[in-house]
Amino acid sequence: MGNSSEDPRPLVMIVDDEPDLLRLIEICLKAQPIQVEAFHEGKVLLERLARAPNPQLIILDVMMPVLSGYEVCRALRALPGCDSIPVVFLTAKTQARDYVLGLESGGNYYIEKPFDVEKIGQKVLGFLAAGKGE
């Protein structure tokens, strides 16, 4: 279900250490019928999820300082209530081994950088719809 009983829109959480890119994605997603929570590092996301694991989708940048997106994904999969939340990796790393590492870390989807700003909201809506069928 959604983030709260007052707001039926799905909640998407985004983590990216680049403030401008984080803000751009947030703006693009808010143009859709989506609630958005943005985080500048994985540790803050994990702390938030430990309190209330309620997003319908998480978008993680792969290359971040301190904890990589892969490390954050593995950690969130161990949190109660977070094992089935779809995770989208946002990355410029597009080698086959990078995709395998992402899947092994618990990720479900990829958005490759650079991405089409005008289409990211539609992609996320597609990921949300796919997640409801599971």
Q: Which amino acid is present at 32? A: Q
The domain of 76 spans 11-132
Instruction: Please check whether residue 77 lies inside any domain of the structure.
Output: yes
Range in 4-8, 52-56, 67-71, 113-117 the model is least confident about: 4-8
Instruction: Please check whether residue 5 lies inside any domain of the structure.
Output: no
Query: What local confidence, expressed as pLDDT, does residue 133 receive?
Result: 54
How many CA within 13 A on the CB side of residue 45? 31
Instruction: Please check whether residue 119 lies inside any domain of the structure.
Output: yes
DSSP code of residue 10: P
Report H helices in 52-106: 69-77, 96-104
Instruction: Give the CATH number, domain containing residue 42.
Output: 3.40.50.2300
State the chain's mean pLDDT as an integer: 90
Asked whether the predicted pLDDT for residue 1 surpasses 70, the reply is no
Quote the number of domains for the chain. Answer: 1
Q: What is the value of pTM for the model shown?
A: 0.91
Query: What local confidence, expressed as pLDDT, does residue 116 receive?
Result: 87
Instruction: Please check whether residue 88 lies inside any domain of the structure.
Output: yes
Q: How confident is the model at residue 96 (pLDDT cuts 50, 70, 90)?
A: confident
The Cα–Cα gap between 93 and 48 comes to 27
Instruction: Please check whether residue 3 lies inside any domain of the structure.
Output: no
Instruction: Please check whether residue 91 lies inside any domain of the structure.
Output: yes
The Cα–Cα gap between 88 and 69 comes to 10
